[in-house]
Amino acid sequence: MPGASSDSGGGALVPISPESQGALVYPLRHGLKSPISRLSISWSRGNSLRVSVFAAPYSGSSVEDDAGGKVVEVKLGGGDGEISDAHWRRIAYGSVSPFALLQSRKNAVSSLSKMSMNSSPYNADWWDYIMEYSRDINALLGSQRSASVPVIDDPKSIIMKGEEPTSLKAAWELLEMFYAESASHSWLPECLVDWLADYDSLFSGTHPTVHSKLVDFQKELVNMQVVEDNPKYWEVMSSALAVGWLDIVVKMLRLHGSYQLDQLSNRETENGLVEAVAVLISKMPRMRLDQEAGKLGECFNARPDFVKAWEKWRGQINKLDSSAFWFQCAHQQTREGLRSMLQIMLGNANCLCSATCHWIELYISHLLYIRPFIVGLENMYSLAQKSIQLKPMASAHRLMGLIIGILGENTEVVLAECLKGFGPWMVAHAMELLTAGSDNAEMLLHEERQNLGGISIEELHRLVYAQVLSSHPLTWQIAPIYLISCMKHGMVLLQILLSQQPVQDNQLLLKSIEICRLYELHSVTSNIMKIAGVHHWKHGRKGSGVFWLQQARDEYRLNRIAQQLFDTVGKTISDDSFKQWEGLIQLLGSDSKTAGGLEFLHKYRHFKKSLQHVCDGKTTDAARQAVESLITLMKNPSTPQRFYLPLLHDSLKLLNWKDRPLLNVSQTNLLLTKLQDLSMARLRPDFIESELPPQAVNAVRLALATNLGRAILEE
């Protein structure tokens, strides 16, 4: 995955290898028929490019079928060959909860240790938390291998085919072994033996391995009649023994022809030797905590016991090696094969070197048979260096670099190898293990660095991972979890991320708003709402636009769009289409604060309704109510001037009420003043004339004057 590139300048943490893998060709499927005149290339989401293809200006006769251009997206890079994009996303989703849980525990622990001042944050609970985190992540990367045991045990199936292992899981287990399992340091060598047993097949792609030898032999085994005559049988067994796969070796030994009933009598000595070696192999003392069921070897978890048992076992092998029975063994291949296996168990360096394929296998064989009592990473590291010298390789697998980094206790190398080999996800999550127990690593990774813009290496890698997440439309929602754990730049980047989300779709918009709510980013919320409101408004969805602007309490924009709305209101609201407006007016509610200038619509509707009642029933009470709402409308400063005349014209009936004048003197005066204001406003150039007949003003003026006269008389 790209995106992890840092500046090529002085502050580069990870050197970008200049070796190019040759040019890659991405075909463009633009489907344009006419020749292309121009190309424009820009970054799109994630690691895809947006290419705009412009056709040459058209000179032909018909224009019907061809577009003038097309925009296509080109996805760069295949990513990790081992893990598909969808699988990466699944890992990303799954690691959110363990990461978040660990962060909150960290915070709790650090606040606790601040309170008590002296206690170390690394107590027993702490290691449990780290281990739980590591196990949760490990479980995400694939199920445990060698879980399935076949119901019918096929004697000729020597190697079990489980789920295909991934390098990612192998790498995580390495980190877990060295950094999370603090208590397991004395049985690290045995952990490595198990690790190689699980993951040796990963190296098969680039190097010959013991695993691939076994797989090849398995294929031939089906057609083999007398296995012990085949030199490959002995070679493969020696190799498997060298890397400590005892159960496979013993199972293979039992395939030896001397076990067959018809041959047992005349090959008695030979069979005795084979069985003796098999028993010795299955009694090999091992320094480990527990043994899985079905695995061979005798376990010791205390060093003195182990040393004692080891010496005894070695003695037994030596005794067998120098026994006289070998001269009685007639079968040459068996004799030589078994003795070379004894040499391996006796730690003959040359035998080990020829039995193993690559340096990790050689390293494991040295740990098993030459230096079983090795202690300390320093010694393990120098042994690894020696193994590499004995078995140099042209190209190193990404796991090999990681092992060297870990054994060399070089945190920076480990980080760089993680990033190079496994991408930003690995670095961001492995960081927790690296800093778990080592104060040195913690200081190194948490130190604020000038060349990184004042942030720590830990924060840098979290930000990088968050950027990778942000660039995908499905994973951007989990980026905030990582961003908020970044003290310096996290919050700002989170605000930018949220502000960049598309607002067209309500569901997505609401998901963004939900994240804002969680992190109390109220200003971002209201910004997003404003953008959404204007977007909807521009696309003719006036109701949606008004809603979002109201939610954002954006009076300024509400007032602006109110002016536009009134243009349409003036034309349509008077008639049947009032039903359309009904919903919008309801949405506005009676709360004038959130409605802005649109509050007018609410009062207008009220007035219209009461006027309707007057026309239907003609009761004086209804008419009085209508007058009340007319007066409130005219008094209200938010009533646009252009509505004065239509309002008064609509109320002619009220002004000329037959029974008695409905408006008193002051009310009539108010209306007259407003009419006066209107004639003044008319002189201004920006005045919008209502669509009423020209005599309307006169009719209203006359009615008002009459009413005034009647009102004076009445008073």
Partner 1 sequence: MAQNPSLVHRIPQSKYIDAIRWLSPVSALDRFAAVAYYDTDTNSPSIEIICVDPNPEGSSPTLTPQSSWTPPSRISSLKTAHSTHQPLLAAATFSGSIHILASDLINGGTMESEATVSELGFHSGPVSAVDLREGGTECVSVGEDGRVNLVSFVGDSSKLSYRRIFDANGLVGYTAVKWASPSEFATGGYGFGLQWWDQRKPGGPVSQFKGNWCQGKTSGIVHSIDIHPSRKHTCLAGGSSGTVFAWDLRAQQQPIVLSGAGTDEAPISLLSESEVWEVQYDRYTRSSNTSNISSTRILPIMICSEDGILAVIEQGEEPLELLAEPCAINSFDIDQQNPSDVICSLEWESIAILTRS
Residues at the site binding partner 1, with contacts judged by CB under 8 A: 73, 75, 84-87, 89-90, 93, 96-97, 472-474, 477, 505-507, 510-511, 514, 517, 536, 539-544, 547, 550-551, 576, 579-584, 586-587, 589-591, 593-594
Task: Determine the residue type at 353.
Answer: C
Q: Of 363 and 547, which CB lies nearer to partner 1 in the complex structure?
A: 547
Q: How far is the CB of 110 from partner 1 (least distance, A)?
A: 24
Label residue 29 left, alpha or beta by phi (over 0 means left) and psi (-120 to 50 means alpha). Answer: beta
Q: Pull the structure tokens for residue 689.
A: 């004339």
Q: Of 272 and 543, which CB lies nearer to partner 1 in the complex structure?
A: 543
DSSP summary character for residue 455: B
Q: How far is the CB of 327 from partner 1 (least distance, A)?
A: 57
Residue 296's φ and ψ, nearest 5 degrees, are: -100, 165
Q: How far is the CB of 94 from partner 1 (least distance, A)?
A: 8
Sole residue written with tokens 């463009």: 28
Q: How far is the CB of 594 from partner 1 (least distance, A)?
A: 6
Residue 5, classed as helix, strand or coil, is coil
The set of residues, in sequence order, having a beta carbon less than 8 Å from that of 274 and lying 6+ positions away, is: 253, 256, 258, 259, 334, 338
Q: How far is the CB of 541 from partner 1 (least distance, A)?
A: 5
Q: How far is the CB of 54 from partner 1 (least distance, A)?
A: 22
Determine the Cα–Cα distance for residues 475 and 547; give it in Å rounded to an integer.
29
Q: Of 28 and 226, which CB lies nearer to partner 1 in the complex structure?
A: 28
Q: How far is the CB of 602 from partner 1 (least distance, A)?
A: 11
Determine the Cα–Cα distance for residues 655 and 702; give it in Å rounded to an integer.
10
H or E segment and range at residue 200: none
Q: How far is the CB of 556 from partner 1 (least distance, A)?
A: 19
Q: Of 85 and 298, which CB lies nearer to partner 1 in the complex structure?
A: 85
Q: Of 36 and 584, which CB lies nearer to partner 1 in the complex structure?
A: 584
Whether 28 contacts 72, CB under 8 Å = yes
Residues 341, 342, 347: CA angle, nearest 5 degrees: 100
Mind giving me the DSSP string for 419-462? HHHHHHHHHHHHHHHHHHH-HHHHHHHHS-BGGGTSB-HHHHHH
Determine the Cα–Cα distance for residues 494 and 458; give it in Å rounded to an integer.
17
Q: Of 44 and 348, which CB lies nearer to partner 1 in the complex structure?
A: 44
Q: Of 445 and 529, which CB lies nearer to partner 1 in the complex structure?
A: 529
Q: Of 488 and 541, which CB lies nearer to partner 1 in the complex structure?
A: 541
Determine the Cα–Cα distance for residues 635 and 268; give it in Å rounded to an integer.
120
Burial label, 130 (beta-carbon count in 10 A; 0-12, 13-18, 19+) = buried
E-assigned strand segments in 230-301:
285-287, 298-300
Q: How far is the CB of 159 from partner 1 (least distance, A)?
A: 25
Q: Of 310 and 578, which CB lies nearer to partner 1 in the complex structure?
A: 578
Q: Of 128 and 591, which CB lies nearer to partner 1 in the complex structure?
A: 591
Determine the Cα–Cα distance for residues 91 and 114; give it in Å rounded to an integer.
34
Mind giving me the DSSP string for 468-487? HHHTSTTTGGGHHHHHTT-T
Q: Of 57 and 81, which CB lies nearer to partner 1 in the complex structure?
A: 81
Q: Pull the structure tokens for residue 169.
A: 């899981």
Write down the H helix ranges in 58-178.
85-116, 124-140, 167-175
Q: Of 408 and 589, which CB lies nearer to partner 1 in the complex structure?
A: 589
Q: Pull the structure tokens for residue 679.
A: 């004639």
Q: How far is the CB of 474 from partner 1 (least distance, A)?
A: 6
Mind giving me the DSSP string for 378-423? HHHHHHHHHHHHHS--SS--HHHHHHHHHHTT-HHHHHHHHHHHHH
Q: Pull the structure tokens for residue 301.
A: 């978890």
CA 569, 571, 575, 580 torsion-angle sign: negative
H or E segment and range at residue 41: strand 36-43
Displacement of CA 488 from its chain's centroid (Å): 21
Q: How far is the CB of 140 from partner 1 (least distance, A)?
A: 11
Residue 462's φ and ψ, nearest 5 degrees, are: -65, -40
Q: Of 31 and 315, which CB lies nearer to partner 1 in the complex structure?
A: 31
Q: How far is the CB of 548 from partner 1 (least distance, A)?
A: 9
Residue 33, classed as helix, strand or coil, is coil
Q: How far is the CB of 266 from partner 1 (least distance, A)?
A: 50
Q: Pull the structure tokens for residue 228.
A: 């012990």
Q: Of 195 and 547, which CB lies nearer to partner 1 in the complex structure?
A: 547
Q: How far is the CB of 421 from partner 1 (least distance, A)?
A: 23
Sole residue written with tokens 């989170």: 494
